[in-house]
Amino acid sequence: MGSTALLLLKLALLAAYYTPAAVPAPARLAHCIQKCGNVDISYPFGTKEGDCFKDRDFQIDCRQKNSNGQRTPYLAKESHDDHDIEVLKISEDTSEIYVSMPVSYVCYDPNNSTDYHQKDRFHMPSKFGISNKKNKFFVRGCETYAFLYDHKGKRLNGCDTRCSDDESSSVTSNYGTCQSDFELTVANYTINIIFYDRFDESDSSVRRCSYAFVAQIGSFNDSDLNDLKKIRETYRSTVVLDWAVHNTNSCGGACKSNNAECVPSESVSGQYFCKCKQGFRGNPYRVDGCKDVDECQDSNLNKCLHPKSCRNTDGDYKCSCPSGQKGNGRDQTVGGSGCSPIITIPLVVTIVLLGVFTLVFILCWAHKQRTSKQLRQRNFEQNGGNFLLQQLSQQQRYTDKMRIFTEVELKNATNNFDETRILGRGGQGTVYKGTLSDNTFVAIKKSRVGGDPRHIQSFINEVFVLSQINHRHVVKLLGCCLETEVPLLVYEFVDNGSLLDHLDQSENECSITWDTRLRIATETAGAISYLLSSASIPIIHRDIKSANILLDHNDTAKVSDFGASRLVHLDEAQVATIVQGTIGYLDPEYLQTGLLNEKSDVYSFGIVLVELLTGNKAFEFNTLAKYFVSSMREDRLWEILDKRVLDQKKNAMILKEVASLARRCIRVNGEERPTMKEVAMELEGLITMGKHLQEKDKDMMVEESEYLLGYCTNNDGYGSTSASFSVISGHDDSIQKHVTFDIIDGGR
């Protein structure tokens, strides 16, 4: 072949192979088919779902099925006339694909003298070529010429076959076979088979066909081709194709892995493909495709004199010599320095001292670990851990409801209770933000002082009951830790602060709207009602306040902090306890008598309603309840409402109804207060009524609100007297304090 013709062929191949890159390699496409039949499919190859393949040349057709129902992969065809090319194996690292190709044949028919000449065209994707290093052209038959042509009709190679001179023999081994090499990698080609001599009609029919095909070197033996009839019906040759991703002097950004490189194809002129760097294997077209090869796991990959000294590194490996020897530990036949002995007195002394120091360190560390373990076990037992485990073991699926954390887990979650993890401080302890090993955010409550051992069983009972609560508006108790001096409680993490934070006018000029306030009140009332009437054992919260109503990112309310809560059995109407709670929210009847009942939480919730209406905070307004009731008696409700509520110009009827409900909740006589269930139902009804009124006549609602409410621009609506009170903290019956309280006539 002349140099000019060779140059033209190279230019034609470059033009045929050029196709712009379509879709960049994705890091991971979960929707793509990863396997078709027994063949692994990975980028840049892929099926036609979404963007699973780089471009059409790499599309795999996985729709066909074989006789046993298993899917079979094929290269996508450009036309129906193209042969089906079955995919057997894809190698990303060597840029090769093994396919199964049909065999071309021509048969002599004595009844049709023209049927002894056959042309068969094979079409490949533009970025594929038949490897000229791993394939040959084979011809099998008698008195046959067979040639291989490129897509331009240029003959590349060919050969002829003859049969045995013994014409009377019908043994198939007399058939001739020839083979020839390629000069270049071929993309699209045509096989032309010609009989150059006619057969005698007395010859066996099995000798009337000749075959030509391209096949991988060594993929079959001559004996595989003896049965020519079987070849025509079932035989398909295995062919190795080279493929590339780009043909413009680079890989065009196709190599996504940091451990991949772009290299020119050795067999396809002008083509480039991605390859993992030395020491890495995998798919270079994925971001994390090229993985480090652990040479130490394969003795054929490492040349360490002492295999146990092999240490794998990123893309390579290192060998070391035994103690007392020097060198790099590699075989000298591959350029290593081997190992040579070194013995020095200072080294021996150093080793002995190091051994003694290590032994002392290990003994001290073991003693510390044993002491720490004993302390954790003692704390666990003193905090009632065994009793809690006994209670939990009696419940089915208790592990889904309650978890016993270790001290190490919670220290790791809070970076050893770092100050920067503190979410808030209260009278009963400090709350930290923690991150568990599964990346779940939690709130961890750490008490300030240890509890009275006499109340450990009571504490365990409360923790156990709280762990059974599953209400969307109650902060869920996930578990506890009993290995510390005082128990640690682990709650779900609520990320948007407390209701108190959002009512602060100095920090929230654009506060939550009235609709949101009403929804928060309704959700809170529903949660308290659930605790009092639907829980397995009724629970009186005893510290309902805006600071204990947390909001998530959707401003959904969640009731929190059950440190002062009490369990009330069904046969108990009220419980005598030491007065405990927060001044400003405390039920005056409970404060005077020390008798706790469910109406105590109703009073505290009524104060929260007043805060939502007025924007005033109970702990800064020592007579907020009295001030609110007297304002309603004097028909001054619109003067004390929060201006941020009035700015919305909402329906006056809803505001008046909520104010009336709050007034009934804070009556001094508990028997005159509504139940929490009635409060929740009434709030839900007001929300429904508000939506109905707004939809029925929005214009009328706006005019009526402007007339009745107006804008509170010249009156701040707040009293001049305010005082701050501290929270009464501690566990049940642990702290006793007598407090004077102004008795307020709650609207009688």
pLDDT at 524: 94
Q: Across residues 268-274, what is the average pLDDT? A: 77
**Sequence letter at residue 653:** M
Average pLDDT over residues 203-229: 71
Both 287 and 389 in a single domain? no
- Average pLDDT on 72-95 reads 83
The domain that holds 190 is classified in CATH as 2.60.120
Question: Quick one: 81 and 188 in the same domain?
Answer: no
Judgement on whether residues 574 and 703 belong to the same structural domain of the protein: yes
Question: 495-530: per-residue pLDDT in tens?
Answer: 888 888 888 766 655 578 888 999 999 999 999 999
- Examine residue 350 and state whether it is found in any structural domain, yes or no: no
- CB-CB neighbours of 373 under 10 Å: 11
Residues 289 and 303 in one domain: no
Whole-model pTM above 0.85?
A: no
Q: Which helix (H) or strand (E) holds 365?
A: helix 345-382
Same domain, 678 and 544: yes
Whole-number pLDDT of residue 289 = 83
Burial class (CB in 10 A: 0-12, 13-18, 19+), 195: buried
Q: Is the pLDDT assigned to residue 667 strictly greater than 80?
A: yes
- Of all residues in the chain, the percent with pLDDT exceeding 90 is 12
Alpha-helical regions (H) of 615-738: 624-633, 637-640, 643-646, 652-665, 676-696, 698-708
One domain, residues 477 and 535: no
Structure tokens of 169?
């023999």
Residue 356 falls within a domain, yes or no? no
Say yes or no to pLDDT of 532 above 70. Answer: yes
Q: How confident is the model at residue 49 (pLDDT cuts 50, 70, 90)?
A: low
Last residue of a domain, one of 91, 108, 124: 91
Residue 421 inside a domain? The answer is: yes
Q: H/E element holding 351?
A: helix 345-382
Does residue 352 belong to any structural domain of this protein?
no
Full domain range(s) for residue 318: 294-343
Choose the final residue of a domain: 492, 516, 549. Answer: 492
Q: Is 452 a catalytic residue?
A: no
355 found inside a domain: no
Domain stops at, among 343, 373, 404: 343
Q: Which pLDDT does position 737 carry in this prediction?
A: 34
Domain identity same for 665 and 609: yes
SS3 599: helix
Q: Is the dihedral of CA 82, 84, 89, 90 positive or negative?
A: positive
Quote the pLDDT of residue 113: 55
Q: What pLDDT, in 10s, does the model give residues 358-367?
A: 999 998 888 8
The confidence score (pLDDT) of residue 734 equals 31
Report how far residue 461's alpha carbon sits from residue 651's, in angstroms, rounded to the nearest whole number: 46
- CA–CA separation, 133 and 240 (whole Å): 9
Q: Answer whether residue 739 shows pLDDT above 60.
A: no
* Per-chain mean pLDDT for the chain: 76
Residues 520 and 622 in one domain: yes
Q: Would you say residue 10 lies in a domain?
A: no
Mean pLDDT of 363-385: 78
Res. 112: pLDDT tops 70: no
430 and 519 both lie in a single domain: no
Are 453 and 517 contained in the same domain? Answer: no
Provide mean pLDDT across the span 457-477: 75
Instruction: Identify the CA nearest to 21 among candidates 36, 43, 49, 41.
Output: 43
**Angstrom distance (rounded) from CA 154 to CA 212:** 18
Residues near 626 by beta carbon (within 8 Å), at least 6 away in sequence: 742, 744
Q: Using CA atoms, how far apart are residues 406 and 433, in angstroms rounded to an integer? A: 16
Q: Which residues make Cβ contacts (< 8 Å) with residue 334, sequence separation at least 6?
A: 303
**Distance (Å, whole) CA 285 – CA 259:** 10
pLDDT at 403 over 60: yes
pLDDT tier, 707 (very low <50, low <70, confident <90, very high otherwise): very low
**Is there a contact between 582 and 600 (Cβ–Cβ < 8 Å)?**
no
Question: What is the reported pLDDT for 224?
Answer: 66
- For residue range 413-440, list pLDDT tens digits in order: 999 989 899 888 765 678 899 999 899 9
pLDDT of residue 176: 77
pLDDT for residue 319: 87
Indicate the residue type of 125: P
Residue 202 confidence (pLDDT): 54
Task: Read off the pLDDT band of 708 (50, 70, 90).
Answer: very low
Looking at residue 428, which CATH number applies to its domain?
A: 3.30.200.20
Average pLDDT over residues 703-721: 40
pLDDT value, residue 713:
33
In-domain check, residue 631: yes
Assess if residue 209 is contained within a domain.
yes
Tokens 């003959």 belong to which residue? Answer: 155
Tell me, what's the pLDDT at 684?
A: 92
Tens digits of per-residue pLDDT, 140-173?
A: 887 888 888 877 778 888 888 877 655 443 333 4
Q: What was the pLDDT predicted at 601?
A: 92
Catalytic position from the list 57, 61, 242, 543: 543
Q: Are residues 690 and 586 part of one domain?
A: yes
Better-scored residue on pLDDT, 183 or 214? 214
DSSP letter, residue 207: G
Higher pLDDT, residue 319 or 334: 319
Domain match, 337 and 414 both: no
Q: How many domains does the chain have?
A: 6
